[in-house]
Structures are given as C-alpha cells and as structure tokens.
Amino acid sequence: MLNKRNTFFFSGQMISMILFPVFFFLPVAAFPSGNNYPPGSRAAAMGNASVATSDLWSVHHNQAGLAGLTAFQAGFHYENRYFVPELGLQALALALPASPGTIGLSYSYFGFSHYNESKLGLAFGRRLGEKIAAGIRINYLYTSIAGDHVNRGAITAEGGIIAQPVKGFFIAAHIYNPARINKHVNHGEPQPVIFRAGIAGLAGERLLVAVEAEKESDFKTVLRAGLEMEFAGEFYMRAGLSSGYIQSSFGLGYAFGKLIADMAFTSHQILGFSPHITVNYILR
C-alpha cells in the first residue's frame, strides 16, 4: 500500500512521480473535473443521483435542497478513492437555517501534499413559494503542485432549483460554472460547465427513487439512478447505477439520536472500489 511508505522506502518525490500520471493521463471521466468532486455517502450510494434530493450535502449537489433543512447540521465526509490514500477526498459541511433561508458553508480537499485541490464554498438556499426552492453558491478553488509549479486559484458560481408539483415528487435542475470561468486552475484543464437535471419521488412511504442526467461541456451525457429504502425510520439501504465510469454503488445508513452515519462503496469499471463514510450531526 502506498500509505506504508516506510515499508517500501517511498519518498514524497517518488510518490509524486507515480501518481502524476494518474491525475494527468487517465481518462478525465474517471475524475470529476475542476475541483467539483461530489461528497456525501448517501449520494454516492445512490449513484450520485442527488440533484433532486435534500440533505446537508445539498450544499455541494444542489443548493436549493438547503431550503428543506429545519435545524442546524454539520457533517464530515471521507472517500478513500480506490484504496489509495493520496487520492483521498475529505469534506466538511455546515448548514444554518435562518430567515429568509438556509446558509451553507463547505470545504473539500482532494489529494496529498505534493498535489492537492481544495474548494471553499458559501451557499444560500430558500423557498420561493410553497412548491419551489432555489439556491446558489460561490466557490474559491485552489490547486497546489509541489516544486516549481505556479499554484493557482479561481472563483466560480453555481446554483439550482427544486420544484415539488405534487406531494412526494420533485423536479430539479442545477448548473455549475454558468459564467464559463475558464481560468486554468488545474494547470491546463479549464473549468467545465456542468448541467444536471433530474427527478425524485416516493414510491410508497419508505422507498425513494431518483433519476438524473448530467451534461458536462465536451463530454457525453451521463445518466444516473438511485434507490433508498427506509426501515423503521432509523436504518437505510441504498443502491445506484450510472452510465459513466462509476457504474454501480451501494451503501447503508443509520440514524441514532442526533447523529447519522452513512457508508457507501462505489465501483469504477477500470480502477475498482472506493469506500465512502459520512457522519452528520443534527441539532434536533
């Protein structure tokens, strides 16, 4: 394992030489572009079909979902991508319901000391009526590469809407980087424009079904679908499918008191499995 550097006598420079081809020469579809990594184990387990759902991690997926929160929440997420710690994703999120909406703050960090990407975001979501909500977020992106490389930052925006035309059925849309900010924060990779649209609905009282499509500039449309089954109001089972490189996923969730713990595993058709774990605190 790469994290056992003392065992194999790997220096930081050797690790950089090994991992840089992963970042720059694997198909870009293997990694979300432009620092736009999707955290949250609930979403991961459902194939990231999350644009029309509402929870704390809507601060990343669709800020309109923040309008559905009624109490202060905080969460931590970690993904050990392909069991390589140097490709790990860590994220924090906070949500504070206030008048007239909910304020969200988020931070994510991908990579390791010799190559990393971070994103700091401030979000706001509110209801525009009984059946529609909207949200926006402003992000500061920063990419750091060890050595003589020039580290770079950029500012992007994103936003979305969620409508509930009938009880238990939601229609949503979200756009990332609509202003087409093209500063090369990733040293040669311009910021993408990403549009997502989807639906989510309750099939009965305990089964949630979500479907969405994502179109990233210069790439084919990706289709996603996810299921979430609730048992006794405390235990959840989830599964998802995608037409992209991340093809299948599954996971579990358990709520106990003010804490919610979620776990997921996603499968990449070339690189294998990635475990995800998320812990949320809700001030009920």
Name the CA radius of gyration of the chain, rounded: 19
Q: What is the mean pLDDT of residues 125-140?
A: 96
With 0-12 / 13-18 / 19 or more C-beta atoms within 10 angstroms meaning exposed / middle / buried, residue 63 is: buried
Q: In the CATH scheme, what is the code of domain 5-282?
A: 2.40.160.60
Phi, psi of 277 (to 5 degrees): -140, 140
- What does pLDDT average to over the chain? 86
Q: Which has the higher per-residue pLDDT, 3 or 283?
A: 283
- Kindly report, residue by residue over 25-59, the tens digit of the pLDDT: 443 434 555 567 899 999 999 999 999 999 999 99
Helices and strands per DSSP (H, E), number in the chain: 4, 14
What local confidence, expressed as pLDDT, does residue 37 receive? 86
| Range from 1-5, 82-86, 89-93, 219-223 that averages highest in pLDDT | 89-93
**Does this model's pTM top 0.95?**
no
142 to 33, 120, 272: CA distances (angstroms): 13, 9, 28
Q: What is the mean pLDDT of residues 201-220?
A: 92
pLDDT of 14 strictly over 80? no
Phi, psi of 281 (to 5 degrees): -115, 130
pLDDT of 183 strictly over 80? no
Instruction: Map out the domains of the chain as residue ranges.
Output: 5-282
Q: Quick one: tokens of 134?
A: 């909207």
Lowest mean pLDDT among 26-30, 66-70, 101-105, 223-227: 26-30
- Kindly report, residue by residue over 231-249, the tens digit of the pLDDT: 988 999 999 999 977 789 9
What local confidence, expressed as pLDDT, does residue 79 receive? 97
